[in-house]
A and B are shown apart, each in its own frame.
Chain A
Amino acid sequence: MSGVVGSLPRSGYLAESRYWSAIAFLVALPTLASLIIVVLSLLHPDTEILGHLLRHVLPRVTVNTILLVAGVAMLAGLIGVGLGWLTAMYHFPGSRFFSWALLLPMAMPGYVMAFVAIGFLEYSGPVQTLLRSWAGAEVWFPPIRSRGGIIVVMALALYPYIYLLARNAFLTQGRQALEVGQSLGLTRRQGFFRVALPMARPWIAGGLMLVVMETLADFGTVSVFNYDTFTTAIYQSWFSLFSISSALQLAFFLLLLVFVAVALEYRWRGRTAYITSLSPGAGVVTLTGAGRWVAFGSALLVLLLAFVLPCLQLLAWSIRNGQIDARFLDSGLRTLSLATISALMIAAVAIILVYALRNAGNVARLAGRIATLGYALPGTVLAVGIYTQISGLNGFLNSSLESLTGASPKFFLQGTVLAMLLAYLVRFLAVAYQAVDAAMQRVTVRIDESARSLGVGGWQLLRRVHVPLLRGGLLTALLLVFVDVMKEMPITLMTRPFGWDTFAVRVYEMTAEGQWEQAALPALSIVLTGLIPVIILTRASSHAVATR
């Protein structure tokens, strides 16, 4: 009897592992197919165009893209980690307020911040006009439409990803880190650099990875700045040089950059060590003297630049040019429902993927990597990849229905919500995955083992043990995806069903013609709607901290 019991879980476990591998590959399939479409394009080079691109375009966009990504990652990392440490470990004037308020810029899309910053700060904008009226026409002002300008704008728009994850790590580990440091005779500062920071590395790396991928895939912000990167070059080859194959070949070079980023992150993340958290919040030090005002000043500065000032400018434009009509309300309703449905669906798939990878072998891990690559694919390329797959499926379904019934039906999966949701899934799975996976890392193998020894396995283990432990990570995943879907532009534009306008579509229609003031109201609406989940998350997380 005992022999039978002893062998059963093992064979059951193996079968289960194969089952989970299959799920992981299924989740990775749409992304994999899109990647294959990109790689296959290399077989049909458009020699003349590709020659031109290699000579006149590729060198410039490669340098531009690398410098942009490096600059944004460094600056956003500095802001995110610095403010995360400050608000997690110190009391200073307004520290409780800043701890959640610094997440607010997450609701501000990069392209919105870009057009506000340019409108506000360029030569014909109010700031420089005022300066000239005081100091004469020759007064110097740093050019906003420059590499430095776009790096600052994108870092301000993207730092919350790092802030959120780093702060989370510091809150749960900071005190132990400092205690370890003190026992080794380190000062608080040394403790930060030599213990707390290395321990928070998986979280910071996860946040940095999101920032790097957002930057690589960005189209809206770089367009407003007219800063040439891979995404603009892909777009240009496609729609101006009329060469989809060269566009896909450029996409391939972009993918190489993504792989480099993934490899770097993998090495840098290094070996991870996790400890159970004790009571977070303890060990917080109250800053005194100049330190408290430096902390206050830097938090305030970031909040002003990344959120308050852009919002005020949008508000001013909206009051002057905004128009609330039936169409506006309709697009609001669509925006909300789309973002909600997508967030729920993508978070659910993320849990399944995380869980599948935990229970499957090394080969399935590859599937996990592939499934989360969609985040770094430019939306336009991805939309076409998905669209091609869906219309292929559609043609197959139509012809099989015809052969079955004799009638020739006409229906479309492309241009339905289904195509749109699938594209969102591929694009944003990485976001939800990172959050859920980071939380899952803390569910130790020992927890699994004890659960299994009590006869709890498979779905039961997921439902009864992991989901409650993953709550925080899940909430983060829901929030991030909700906000991302709401901000998303190219996929929405390309795959939305008839008459489906969202706020992002409205912003696009206006900014495409340079009517930035008219774009302000829908843009402001994106920001305000995005605030709702941000506030829910911050309340929930402070509640969790308070009751733990």
Chain B
Amino acid sequence: MPKYLSAVLAVLVLAAGCAPEPNEVVVYSARAEQLIQPLFERYMAQTGAVVTWATDKEGPLMQRLISEGEQTPADLFLTVDAGNLWLAAEQGLLQQAQSAVLNRNVPAHLHDEAGRWFGLSVRARTIIYSTDRVDPSQLSTYAALGDAAWQGRLCLRTSKKVYNQSLVAMMIAEHGEEKTEQIVRRWVANLAAPVYSSDTKVIEAIVAGQCDVGIVNTYYFGRLQKKDPAIPIALFWPNQQGSGVHVNVSGAGIVKFADNRPGALKLLEWLSSETAQAEFAALNLEYPVNESVPSDPLVAAWGDFNQNLINVSRAGELQSRAVQLMDRAGYR
């Protein structure tokens, strides 16, 4: 090859930036920056390790991991929703982490059976109701929100949000596809307004009186409750006689082509430890995945509940079927 070409290439190397330092841990995170930055800063101060991160949506981040392949600078992939973690593992983007610490800190149904990813915080998706217009004794299960009693009183978020896809996927795991489709059709028939783009809007619609019940992740309610403790809304824990409340996780796994595997594992173990768990969950008013760590007082005040113990990775396996089911049922 001609000499000048190597000169051009050398310049390109300089222009494009060099490989990361050896003890640096590079994190790709779909969890929002303000929810991870304080923890990473604490970890750096405590251990002297260097953590750098890029935040983005999970889809583009995974696409980036795929196209970077072996050249990727990423060591740890952090995202929300078990469906996304399952997909990353399925696409071969993550590697197994054999760690007694992680197996002890993270309950079995909240991590990949093969150890490719581990949940770090629990998010419960539950029923909320207007304390002005609903007697909680009328509530029982997710499926019962399709009953005629809730005609024109139900508000839901769009089916495009992965939280609802996971919820319906777990319902398929429990009831089978046919029965789940009936339930979803009845939900759609009960809607008081077109589906909303966010959980917060669902809660606001109930406060405003447009509808009486809805399904949201608890931390969205927590944020509003923090602002207005007198908000006329309460949480209801459904399916307590049966399968339990639908839970999901945010979590992380070590990237298949990580340069700094030990560093990534150390950070992951630290994130699941007592030291980090309280803050990791409390920053977003979620539940710690580590059962020895107490919840934030605001969260603890909502009471205990039985959670669905089916492994959350089922949400990922069944997600495509759940999306198609919701398309058929007219749940937009």
Chain B 55-66 per-residue mask, 1 if CB under 8 angstroms from chain A, else 0: 111111001100
A253 within 8 A of B: no
Does A493 contact B56, Cβ atoms closer than 8 Å? yes
Does A387 contact B32, Cβ atoms closer than 8 Å? no
Known: A123-B208, A226-B158, A226-B160. A498 touches B54 (CB 8 A): yes
Does B327 contact A493, Cβ atoms closer than 8 Å? no
Nearest chain A CB to B309 CB, angstrom units: 25
Residue of A with least CB distance to B197: A226
A398 partner residues in chain B, CB cutoff 8 A: 71
Does B13 contact A411, Cβ atoms closer than 8 Å? yes
Number of chain B interface residues as a range: 35 or more
Known: A226-B196, A401-B13. A124 touches B204 (CB 8 A): yes
Chain B 38-77 per-residue mask, 1 if CB under 8 angstroms from chain A, else 0: 0000000000000010111111100110011101010000
Residue of A with least CB distance to B162: A240
A279 within 8 A of B: no
A387 partner residues in chain B, CB cutoff 8 A: 63-64, 67
Further 4 A-B residue pairs, CB within 8 A, beyond A226-B332, A235-B59: A124-B205, A128-B208, A409-B19, A411-B17
In order of increasing CB-CB distance, the 8 nearest A-B pairs are A514-B198, A124-B208, A514-B200, A411-B16, A494-B60, A239-B59, A124-B204, A123-B210
A57 partner residues in chain B, CB cutoff 8 A: 327
B199 partner residues in chain A, CB cutoff 8 A: 514
Q: Which of A339-347, A412-420, A425-433 contacts B (4 or more CB under 8 A)?
A: A412-420
A538 within 8 A of B: no
Alpha-carbon distance A224/B198, docked complex (angstroms)? 9
B162 partner residues in chain A, CB cutoff 8 A: 240
A383 partner residues in chain B, CB cutoff 8 A: 60
Nearest chain B CB to A131 CB, angstrom units: 12
Residue of B with least CB distance to A244: B63
Give the contacting residue for B71; candidates A124, A137, A243, A410; CB below 8 A.
Answer: A410
Known: A57-B327, A413-B16. A226 touches B194 (CB 8 A): yes
Give the contacting residue for A414; candidates B9, B68, B87, B158; CB below 8 A.
Answer: B68
User: Chain B contact residues: over half helix, strand or loop, or mixed?
Assistant: helix
Alpha-carbon distance A240/B327, docked complex (angstroms)? 12
B6 within 8 A of A: yes
B55 partner residues in chain A, CB cutoff 8 A: 509
Chain A 32-63 per-residue mask, 1 if CB under 8 angstroms from chain B, else 0: 00000000000000000100100011000000
Nearest chain B CB to A330 CB, angstrom units: 13
Instruction: Tell me the total A-B contact number using a CB cutoff of 8 A.
Output: 134
B 131-169 contacts with A by CB, 8 A: 158, 160, 162, 165
B 1-55 contacts with A by CB, 8 A: 1, 5-6, 9, 12-13, 15-19, 32-33, 52, 54-55
**Which residues does B use to contact A, with CB under 8 Å?**
1, 5-6, 9, 12-13, 15-19, 32-33, 52, 54-60, 63-64, 67-69, 71, 73, 87, 158, 160, 162, 165, 193-201, 204-205, 207-210, 220, 319-320, 323-324, 327-328, 332
A228 within 8 A of B: yes
B63 partner residues in chain A, CB cutoff 8 A: 384, 387, 494
Give the contacting residue for A498; candidates B6, B33, B52, B204; CB below 8 A.
Answer: B52
Give the contacting residue for A123; candidates B193, B198, B319, B327; CB below 8 A.
Answer: B193
Alpha-carbon distance A387/B67, docked complex (angstroms)? 8
Alpha-carbon distance A63/B287, docked complex (angstroms)? 43
B200 partner residues in chain A, CB cutoff 8 A: 513-515
Does B17 contact A236, Cβ atoms closer than 8 Å? no
Residue of B with least CB distance to A384: B63
A241 within 8 A of B: yes
Nearest chain A CB to B127 CB, angstrom units: 18
Does B193 contact A411, Cβ atoms closer than 8 Å? no
Alpha-carbon distance A388/B158, docked complex (angstroms)? 31
Does A416 contact B13, Cβ atoms closer than 8 Å? no
Which of A228, A236, A498 has the most CB atoms of chain B within a 10 A radius of its CB?
Answer: A498
Alpha-carbon distance A410/B55, docked complex (angstroms)? 22
Residue of B with least CB distance to A223: B197
A-B pairs with beta carbons under 8 Å apart, 12 shown: A52-B327, A56-B328, A124-B210, A129-B208, A225-B197, A240-B160, A241-B323, A397-B9, A411-B13, A411-B18, A494-B60, A512-B57
Does B54 contact A499, Cβ atoms closer than 8 Å? yes
Does B319 contact A240, Cβ atoms closer than 8 Å? yes
B209 partner residues in chain A, CB cutoff 8 A: 137
Give the contacting residue for A493; candidates B60, B160, B165; CB below 8 A.
Answer: B60
Does A412 contact B197, Cβ atoms closer than 8 Å? no
Does A224 contact B324, Cβ atoms closer than 8 Å? no
Does B201 contact A514, Cβ atoms closer than 8 Å? yes
A123 partner residues in chain B, CB cutoff 8 A: 193, 205, 208, 210
Does A514 contact B73, Cβ atoms closer than 8 Å? no
A 132-149 contacts with B by CB, 8 A: 137, 143, 145-146
B59 partner residues in chain A, CB cutoff 8 A: 235, 238-239
Nearest chain A CB to B100 CB, angstrom units: 33
Residue of B with least CB distance to A146: B194
Residue of A with least CB distance to B200: A514
Does B1 contact A404, Cβ atoms closer than 8 Å? yes
Does B64 contact A494, Cβ atoms closer than 8 Å? yes
B9 partner residues in chain A, CB cutoff 8 A: 397, 400-401, 404
A 482-506 contacts with B by CB, 8 A: 493-494, 498-499
Which of A235, A240, A410 has the most CB atoms of chain B within a 10 A radius of its CB?
Answer: A240
Chain A 91-123 per-residue mask, 1 if CB under 8 angstroms from chain B, else 0: 000000000000000000000000000000011
A405 within 8 A of B: yes
A512 partner residues in chain B, CB cutoff 8 A: 57
A242 within 8 A of B: yes
Known: A123-B208, A388-B67, A401-B6. A49 touches B320 (CB 8 A): yes
Alpha-carbon distance A3/B90, docked complex (angstroms)? 73
Alpha-carbon distance A96/B180, docked complex (angstroms)? 62
Does A493 contact B64, Cβ atoms closer than 8 Å? no
A65 within 8 A of B: no
